[in-house]
């Protein structure tokens, strides 16, 4: 990443409660049959309540996405309630009513605790199996408990990060401490169904910087386009993708837009790396960089076609430098290319120059965990990169053995 | 299929030599390291030599595709030489020279045998690993041998079908005997890298009907669009796709265009079913039918997005009626849909009506080999179907364990 103050520190042991003015909690409300943590709350104590959000581009949107898009139109949020154990997607008007009732319950519990809050100030996020109604008795009892839990202390950030996990094996959180004494914190979940349009995930970012909704929106959209939108695990895009950014203004510091943009970008980039490393069935972390495209968008489009190709992904699972499959994928990209100008490198070793294989290409060692694929198209100055993973036995097992 | 004379017989024990006027042979030329059959010849004895072809839409085209597209511009072919054991793709000008030399060698051997033939009358097809040059000493020696072999008898159709196999486990051939005493024969290969644009395959169809190149072209393009273009095994499209249709006119019968179209369609449809049943790692044969789309093209586009979704395919491998993944895939299709009008059925049982799950949806039995998914969009009269397969451990194994 360029343009980020080099002295800003990234700390993965901290998350959404790292910035001043935020509390969080995560509890087991019984939504998951396993008894694991499944309900999280992130609460903004102010003095500001500015917020922005980005959402799935899937035309089939879960009830909590429809709700949260609506409440975000005010540019203001006091709290985010998140559950795992059920996506509340494809649940019809009843499912939307459940989301609304959840937001009302959060507002009532927070008001009771002393912070006058309306449902319109509460975003809702859900993740889990599509198609089932949530067990609302457990959700509503859980809401009262999680507000009570949050009231008790400041250490709830990691519990919140744990409570949104589905097939994730580790919680994902990070905080960036800016040398000018403001902080961005974040948590995210997402392991499968990760693709264009926000990488199919839930994420909450918090900051104590002073920033209005417009500034937050700019920073979040730019960062998402460069990070989550360029993580493609399996080409599938969920109905529930949501990333929110809340500011409390509690630091009293107003960073300029470029500093805010860079901090948010760096936090999102780190979350992306964590999501990639914990993707379902992952054995390889793959970065595909395309250069020499007519435009940057074209480069990303070509990289995405490669990242989604099952034959490329299975070859890399087998540590097989089968560059022909990369060429075949490039040839199907929705971008006019010249096959005789394509040069491909695996981990820095050229395997194909001007569309023709080079001696020794089949001997390139891809046995390590990290694989860099670079494709030069020889057409212009456009460039872009996409992160992906391999297609392994474990991916098939995780996604066939049970409903998720 | 509608409109096909119901008395026309399909026979899978016969292939390209079923129609009068065709000979074929398949030999082991040593191109494959395994010693298996790897070189096939299909020869048209006339009296007509009309031909048509359809080719991959991949921008990265193998040398034999570039060659065969050029020779097909004459609408005339005497012979097709096909090799497995190497795709001759991404091999540069040297690879194109190899293809040309192969066609010249076939023409010379046929001329020597008594049929004056030019290289311009010989199509070339190759399949196998992308990126390596062919062992031309073996190919050229093999050409002489396969012409000699063909000269010896008429029973070479099945050997030819075997010689084009790569990861195929069984040869694919079929013949249709029309009650008016003309015949269409065919062979094909293709098991992985099967996707839009001809289903990534090689195929040769022969007929003894009297039909000029224009009639053949019409029949082949229409049939391909409805069959091979709607078989999507893994979303990957090869550099070598080629399907050719040759007529000898030896029956002396001139069918009308509709009869020819229907016969070719029926043969292509049967080859498609054979390709699907032998796809890499297949444990389920899946047909996805979309109805109620604005236009037929939209229906096919939606069906294709579902067919390519890794999460849908892994769920079906696990016999899991996870209809939410189907909805999530539909929502990403490049077609404007209304989520509240989508109805999904698995094997005839409704699992989701108007975008909401129905009771018992999770109990639908998908343990059988054949799975029918129907998606009604409720928007118009457009309909279309795509065949696909599941995503299994075996698919991952076949495509990661060795270069192919």
Q: What is the pLDDT of residue B38?
A: 97
Exactly one of A99, A200, A227, A374 is catalytic; name it: A200
Of the residues B261, B277, B293, the one at which a domain ends: B277
Q: Which residues of A touch B342 (CB under 8 A)?
A: 60
Q: Which residues of A touch B92 (CB under 8 A)?
A: 340, 354-356
Average pLDDT over residues B365-385: 96
Do B272 and B331 have their domain in common? no
Do A234 and A297 have their domain in common? no
Distance of CA B102 to the CA centre of its chain: 23
For B310, nearest residue in chain A (alpha carbons):
A234
Question: Per the annotation, does A138 bind a ligand?
Answer: no
Whether residue B161 has pLDDT greater than 90: yes
Domain count for chain B, please give it: 2
Best mutation target among B62, B323, B331 (most A Cβ atoms within 10 Å) is: B331
pLDDT band at B403 (very low <50, low <70, confident <90, very high): low
Residue B107 lies in a domain: yes
Beta carbons within 10 angstroms of residue B84's beta carbon: 27
| Six-digit token string for B142 | 């093999």
Angstroms from A196 CA to nearest CA on chain B: 10
How confident is the model over A283-339, as pLDDT tens digits? 999 999 999 999 999 999 999 999 988 889 999 999 999 998 899 899 889 999 999
- Inspect the interface and report whether the beta carbons of B331 and A58 lie closer than 8 Å: yes
Best mutation target among A95, A396, A402 (most B Cβ atoms within 10 Å) is: A396
Q: What is the pLDDT of residue B6?
A: 58
- Inspect the interface and report whether the beta carbons of B59 and A339 lie closer than 8 Å: yes
Best mutation target among A33, A58, A60, A89 (most B Cβ atoms within 10 Å) is: A60
- Inspect the interface and report whether the beta carbons of A59 and B337 lie closer than 8 Å: yes
**CATH number, domain containing residue A180:** 3.60.70.12
Do A238 and A336 have their domain in common? no
Spell out a b/e string for A363-375, using b for 16 or more CB atoms within 10 Å of the CB, else e.
ebebeeeebebbb
Q: What is the pLDDT of residue A198?
A: 40
DSSP assignment of B166-214 equals SS-SS-EEEEEEETTTEEEEEEEE--SS--TTTTS-EEEEEE-S---HH
Question: Per the annotation, does B166 bind a ligand?
Answer: yes
Q: What is the pLDDT of residue A201?
A: 82
pLDDT band at B382 (very low <50, low <70, confident <90, very high): very high
Q: Which residues of A touch B354 (CB under 8 A)?
A: 92
Residue A78 lies in a domain: yes
- Specify the higher pLDDT residue, B329 or B29: B29
Whether residue B194 has pLDDT greater than 80: no
Average pLDDT over residues A94-120: 96
pLDDT band at A197 (very low <50, low <70, confident <90, very high): very low
B278, B168 Cβ separation under 8 angstroms: yes
Residue A2 lies in a domain: no
Q: How many CB pairs under 8 A join A and B?
A: 217
Angstroms from B142 CA to nearest CA on chain A: 25
User: E strands of B235-348, at which residues?
Assistant: 242-247, 285-293, 343-346
Coil/strand/helix, residue A402: coil
For B92, nearest residue in chain A (alpha carbons):
A356
Range in A346-350, B176-180, B226-230 with the lowest mean pLDDT: B226-230
Q: What is the pLDDT of residue B394?
A: 84
Q: What is the pLDDT of residue A15?
A: 94
Average pLDDT over residues B343-348: 96
pLDDT band at B137 (very low <50, low <70, confident <90, very high): very high
Do B338 and B204 have their domain in common? no
Are β-strands A202-207 and A242-247 bridged in parallel, bridged antiparallel, or unpaired? parallel
Q: Residue B349: name the closest of B368, B364, B366 by CA.
A: B364
Using omega within 30 degrees of 0 as the cis cutoff, is the peptide bond preceding B47 cis? yes
How confident is the model over B233-260, as pLDDT tens digits? 777 678 888 999 999 999 999 999 999 9
Question: Per the annotation, does A32 bind a ligand?
Answer: no
For A394, nearest residue in chain B (alpha carbons):
B393
Q: Which residues of B touch A356 (CB under 8 A)?
A: 90-92
What is the spatial distance between Cα A308 and Cα B72, in angstroms, rounded to a whole number?
34
- Inspect the interface and report whether the beta carbons of A396 and B401 lie closer than 8 Å: no
Whether residue B154 has pLDDT greater than 90: no
Residue B4 lies in a domain: no
pLDDT band at B193 (very low <50, low <70, confident <90, very high): very low
Q: Which residues of B touch A322 (CB under 8 A)?
A: 129-130, 403-404
Q: What is the pLDDT of residue A234?
A: 72
pLDDT band at B126 (very low <50, low <70, confident <90, very high): very high
For A129, nearest residue in chain B (alpha carbons):
B324
Residue A328 has its nearest CB partner, among B58, B310, B393, at: B58
A79, A121 Cβ separation under 8 angstroms: yes
Residue B3 lies in a domain: no
Do B237 and B204 have their domain in common? yes
pLDDT band at B76 (very low <50, low <70, confident <90, very high): very high
- Inspect the interface and report whether the beta carbons of B332 and A129 lie closer than 8 Å: no
**CATH number, domain containing residue B289:** 3.10.20.340
Average pLDDT, chain A: 91
| Six-digit token string for B144 | 């002489």
Of the residues B277, B293, B308, the one at which a domain ends: B277
What is the spatial distance between Cα B40 and Cα A10, in angstroms, rounded to a whole number?
62
> Cα Rg for chain A, rounded, in angstroms?
22
- Inspect the interface and report whether the beta carbons of B403 and A362 lie closer than 8 Å: yes
Question: Which strand ranges, in their side-by-side order, compose the sheet holding A79-83?
Answer: A22-27, A39-44, A79-83, A122-126
Average pLDDT over residues A23-47: 96
B265, B4 Cβ separation under 8 angstroms: yes
Residue A1 lies in a domain: no
Exactly one of B200, B291, B374, B389 is catalytic; name it: B200
Average pLDDT over residues A363-370: 94
Coil/strand/helix, residue A140: helix
Whether residue B369 has pLDDT greater than 50: yes
| Six-digit token string for B180 | 């008016």
What is the spatial distance between Cα B393 and Cα B388, in angstroms, rounded to a whole number?
16
Residue A393 has its nearest CB partner, among B234, B330, B393, at: B393
A14, A157 Cβ separation under 8 angstroms: yes
pLDDT band at B208 (very low <50, low <70, confident <90, very high): very high
- Inspect the interface and report whether the beta carbons of B131 and A357 lie closer than 8 Å: yes
Residue A4 lies in a domain: no
Residue B396 has its nearest CB partner, among A339, A361, A393, at: A393
Q: What is the pLDDT of residue B41?
A: 97
Do B181 and B256 have their domain in common? yes
What is the spatial distance between Cα A384 and Cα A386, in angstroms, rounded to a whole number?
7
Of the residues A259, A277, A295, the one at which a domain ends: A277
Q: Which residues of B touch A330 (CB under 8 A)?
A: 59-60
| Six-digit token string for A242 | 């949501």
- Inspect the interface and report whether the beta carbons of B60 and A310 lie closer than 8 Å: no
Residue B320 has its nearest CB partner, among A57, A92, A400, at: A400
A22, A248 Cβ separation under 8 angstroms: yes
B127, B83 Cβ separation under 8 angstroms: yes
Average pLDDT over residues A117-125: 97
Q: What is the pLDDT of residue B398?
A: 80
Residue B318 has its nearest CB partner, among A87, A337, A400, at: A400
Q: Residue A157: name the closest of A40, A36, A48 by CA.
A: A40
A171: domain range? Answer: 9-277
CB-count burial class (<10 Å; 0-12, 13-18, 19+) for A124? buried
- Inspect the interface and report whether the beta carbons of A399 and B318 lie closer than 8 Å: yes
Angstroms from A311 CA to nearest CA on chain B: 6
Do B63 and B204 have their domain in common? yes
Coil/strand/helix, residue A268: helix
| Six-digit token string for A337 | 């290319």
Average pLDDT, chain B: 91
Q: What is the pLDDT of residue A86?
A: 93
Do B252 and B187 have their domain in common? yes
Do B242 and B119 have their domain in common? yes
Question: Per the annotation, does A399 bind a ligand?
Answer: yes
Q: Residue A342: name the closest of A383, A386, A375, A312 by CA.
A: A375
Average pLDDT over residues A230-240: 79
Whether residue B198 has pLDDT greater than 90: no
Range in A338-342, A346-350, B190-194, B202-206 with the lowest mean pLDDT: B190-194
DSSP assignment of A173-201 equals EEEEEETTTEEEEEEEE--SS--TTTTS-
Q: Residue A186: name the closest of A170, A169, A203, A201 by CA.
A: A203
Is B2 a known active-site residue? no
Express the helix, strand and coil content of chain B in percent, nearest 5 each.
35, 25, 40
pLDDT band at A151 (very low <50, low <70, confident <90, very high): confident
Coil/strand/helix, residue B158: helix
Most confident of B15-24, B144-153, B196-205: B15-24
Q: Residue B400: name the closest of A310, A285, A332 by CA.
A: A310
How confident is the model over A153-193, as pLDDT tens digits? 656 999 999 999 988 889 999 999 999 999 999 999 986 54
Do A232 and A305 have their domain in common? no
Beta carbons within 10 angstroms of residue B86's beta carbon: 25
Do A20 and A104 have their domain in common? yes
Do A63 and A182 have their domain in common? yes
Residue B1 lies in a domain: no
Q: What is the pLDDT of residue B195?
A: 44
- Inspect the interface and report whether the beta carbons of B239 and A327 lie closer than 8 Å: yes
- Inspect the interface and report whether the beta carbons of B235 and A330 lie closer than 8 Å: no
| C-alpha pair distances (Å), B222 with each of A101, B53, B228, B238, B240 | 54, 12, 10, 21, 20
B144, B109 Cβ separation under 8 angstroms: yes
- Specify the higher pLDDT residue, B403 or B278: B278
Whether residue B197 has pLDDT greater than 50: no
Average pLDDT over residues A107-136: 95
Whether residue A85 has pLDDT greater than 50: yes
Q: Residue A338: name the closest of B34, B61, B106 by CA.
A: B61
Residue B314 has its nearest CB partner, among A314, A336, A400, at: A400
Q: What is the pLDDT of residue B123?
A: 97
Average pLDDT over residues A237-262: 94
């Amino acid at each position: 990443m360029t343009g980020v103050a080099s002295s800003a520190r990234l700390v993965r042991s901290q998350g959404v409660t790292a910035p001043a003015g935020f509390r969080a909690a995560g509890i087991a409300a019984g939504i998951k049959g396993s008894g694991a943590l499944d309900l999280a709350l992130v609460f903004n104590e102010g003095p500001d309540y500015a917020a922005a959000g980005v959402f799935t581009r899937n035309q089939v949107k879960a009830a909590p996405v429809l709700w949260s898009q609506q409440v975000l139109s005010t540019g203001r949020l006091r709290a985010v309630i998140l559950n795992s154990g059920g996506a509340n997607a494809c649940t019809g008007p009843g499912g939307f009513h459940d989301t609304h009732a959840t937001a009302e319950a959060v507002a009532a519990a927070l008001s009771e605790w002393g912070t006058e809050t309306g449902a319109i100030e509460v975003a809702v996020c859900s993740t889990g199996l599509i198609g089932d109604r949530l067990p609302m008795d457990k959700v509503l009892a859980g809401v009262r408990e999680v507000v009570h839990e949050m009231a008790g202390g400041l250490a709830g950030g990691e519990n919140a990060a744990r409570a949104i996990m589905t097939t994730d094996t580790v919680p994902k959180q990070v905080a960036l401490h800016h040398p000018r004494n403001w902080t961005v914190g974040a948590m995210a979940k997402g392991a499968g169904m990760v693709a264009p349009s926000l990488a199919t995930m839930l994420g909450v970012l918090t900051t104590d910087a002073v920033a209005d909704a417009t500034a937050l929106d700019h920073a979040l959209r730019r960062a998402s386009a460069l990070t989550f939108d360029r993580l493609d695990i399996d080409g599938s895009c969920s109905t529930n993708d949501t990333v929110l950014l809340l500011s409390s203004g509690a630091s009293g510091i107003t960073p300029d837009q470029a500093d805010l943009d860079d901090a948010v970008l760096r936090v999102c980039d780190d979350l992306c790396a964590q999501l990639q490393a914990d993707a379902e069935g992952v054995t390889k972390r793959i970065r595909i960089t395309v250069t020499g495209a007519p435009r940057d968008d074209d480069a990303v489009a070509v990289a995405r076609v490669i990242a989604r190709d099952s034959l490329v992904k299975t070859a890399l699972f087998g540590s097989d430098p089968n560059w022909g499959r990369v060429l075949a994928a490039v040839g199907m990209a929705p971008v006019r290319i010249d096959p005789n100008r394509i040069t491909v490198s695996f981990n820095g070793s050229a395997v194909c120059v001007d569309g023709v294989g080079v001696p020794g290409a089949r001997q390139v060692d891809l046995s390590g965990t990290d694989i860099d694929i670079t494709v030069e198209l020889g057409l212009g100055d456009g460039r872009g990169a996409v992160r992906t993973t391999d297609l392994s036995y474990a991916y098939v097992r995780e996604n066939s053995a049970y409903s998720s």
